[in-house]
Amino acid sequence: MKSNNLREVIGVVKLKTVKITAALLSTVLLLGACGSPEPDSSEKPDSTEKASTELKEVELTWHYPLVQQQSDQQLIEDEVNKITKEKINATVKLLPIDIGNYGQKLNTVAAAREDIDLIWTGYLFNYEQNARKGAFLPIDDLLAQYAPNLMKDVPEYVWDGLRIDGEIHAIPNMQLNFSQNGLLILKDLVDKYNIDVSKIKTFEDIEPVLEIIKQNEPDMIPYGGFGGDYYPYINNYWSVGPYSYVKRDDSSHTIVADLPEKDAVLELYRKWQLNGYFLKDAALAKQNDYLSKGKIAVNPTNTLKPGVESDAKTLNGGLDVVAVPISEVSTNGWPNTSDTAIGRYSKNPERAMMFLELLNSDKELYNLLSYGIDGKHYEKVNDNQIKVKAESGYNPNIGWVFGNTFNGYVRDDQPADMNELIKKENENATVNPYGAFRFNSDPVKTELANIKAVQDEFDKGLYTGSFDLDKVLPEYKSRLEKAGKSIVVNEVKKQFDAWLTANGMKK
């Protein structure tokens, strides 16, 4: 979809560093405007080399979530606009919304058809659902014309994951895009008991360690995972929808709904609860109350990433941990947990796309939004690392909202080469061959809501071993079935089969 907003020509504005695309330059010339030629691509432009075009100054608006309001927010906006005014002749009105109210607020914005230019979309404001509802502008043509570098830099499988019914509706905020199951063990316990972590290859292999902790550390909780989203039983499957999995080595692409591995893990959890490896009241407790005091010996994670040790140290009351991988590195494609879309009713979609091109390529702009001003909000340790200043007036800690995280600094307590390590893992991860399949849940919304109600009632107890499985597991499965599990799985199968056929994968 293309707009003619840029055909309103008012004045001559000099812009630095932005190369005029052939299509835009042709439009301006047809209107009789004057423009200086682009610098030779083989030479670096200096301060005397300027690209000029006739662009009307516009103000863009940007909604995104924020954990806590920042006292220096206006200062940051002013500094951002110095960059954007010079480079694309636009200013940006930053409109952060409290993270707890973001989804509700954006639903209101979308329903009112407000002319917001830029919208963060992800796990708080679902990309797929809102793209189908028409909240976002299809941007394939805008991408090709105004963001060629961005289009080139993003891997094709990521664009595939962003396509909804054949169209792209958002820009990915590039970041860690793989998962690896693992266990985080307190280092002082590893050293104290001479634990050979190289022998821990599977989830079940941690059991002897838990027994050592149980016998010798009465003040410690051997195993954490208080009913959280850690599901080691799907390591050998690709997820394609709710309760819908395909075995990784299955060339027939057959969906399986009931995994025997899941029952085995629930039985293991029950055993661990009876053996005293879980906190007795884990199903009712808040894990962070114990984790933050360094009271959990072993904790599971599905994001075993470079630098995870420093993140876990902060969460574990300042205690060092040892990270132990127990699965391969893989990716389900692009999960759409953090993207930036252009609003359907934006009055300046071309300039919004030019801004997204700039945001994802200009490191100064990205780091300004993510960390603030050098010397005021952080100190540079070296060219790549910074030390954030506490209570400085700006520390949003949401770099994953603002664009390509690989353009950002890393904290001084993280590996200096963390961004490169994560990029390497992204590139080497085994890619889900079905990652571009996007299940449309609209036909089974009622069933999914009913299923969630059952899960909310049972799951935390099941995943902490708190229930007698002989009594509870049959009831759980029966309740899921009554809620509509088979209806949902059949809908996934129908859509998945059509997708396989359309992509030439159906035998």
Q: What is the pLDDT of residues 265-305, one digit of tens each?
A: 999 999 999 999 999 999 999 998 999 999 999 999 988 99
Q: Are 254 and 482 in contact (CB under 8 A)?
A: no
- With b for 16 or more beta-carbon neighbours within 10 A and e for fewer, the 158-171 pattern comes to bbbbbbbeeebbbb
- Given a cut of 80, whether residue 473 has pLDDT beyond it is yes
- Given a cut of 80, whether residue 2 has pLDDT beyond it is no
| Cβ neighbours of residue 334 closer than 8 Å, sequence gap 6 or more | 157, 158, 159, 160, 161, 162, 172, 177, 435
C-alpha 366/C-alpha 305 separation (Å) is 22
Largest CA distance in the chain: 84
Instruction: Give the tokens for residue 115.
Output: 């002319």
Higher pLDDT, 52 or 362: 362
- Given a cut of 70, whether residue 413 has pLDDT beyond it is yes
Confidence of residue 46 (pLDDT cuts 50, 70, 90): very low
- Given a cut of 80, whether residue 38 has pLDDT beyond it is no
* E runs forming strands in 194-312: 221-223, 237-241, 244-247, 255-256, 296-301
A 10 A CB-CB count for 451 gives: 22
Using CA atoms in the order 239, 243, 247, 251, what is the torsion angle rounded to 10 degrees? -90
* Count of positions (residues) in the chain: 507
SS3 23: helix
pLDDT at residue 228, as a whole number: 67
Q: Are 373 and 379 in contact (CB under 8 A)?
A: no
Confidence of residue 53 (pLDDT cuts 50, 70, 90): low
Q: Do domains 58-176+336-363 and 182-331 have the same CATH topology?
A: yes
A 10 A CB-CB count for 139 gives: 23
Mean pLDDT, the chain, as a whole number?
Answer: 88
Residue 211 half-sphere exposure, CB side, CA atoms within 13 Å? 6
For the domain made up of 58-176+336-363, the CATH class stated in words is: alpha beta
* CA 266 to centroid of chain Cα atoms: 28
Percentage, residues of the chain above pLDDT 90: 79
pLDDT at residue 235, as a whole number: 85
Over range 472-488, report the average pLDDT.
98
Q: Are 223 and 278 in contact (CB under 8 A)?
A: yes
| Cβ neighbours of residue 405 closer than 8 Å, sequence gap 6 or more | 173, 174, 175, 176, 399, 419
> For 193-301, where are the alpha helices, taking DSSP H only?
207-216, 260-275, 287-291
Percentage, residues of the chain above pLDDT 70: 89
Q: What CATH number labels 182-331?
A: 3.40.190.10
Over range 457-468, report the average pLDDT.
95
Higher pLDDT, 317 or 230: 317
- pTM for the full predicted model: 0.77
Domain boundaries, the chain: 1-56, 58-176+336-363, 182-331, 371-431, 442-502
- Can you spell out the DSSP letters for 337-384? SEEEEEBTT-S-HHHHHHHHHHHTT-HHHHHHHHH--BTTTEEESSSS
What's the Cα-to-Cα distance from 139 to each of 24, 75, 345, 356, rounded to whole Å? 16, 31, 13, 12
C-alpha 366/C-alpha 364 separation (Å) is 6
SS3 387: strand
435: left (phi over 0), alpha (psi -120 to 50) or beta: alpha
pLDDT at residue 226, as a whole number: 84
pLDDT at residue 29, as a whole number: 30
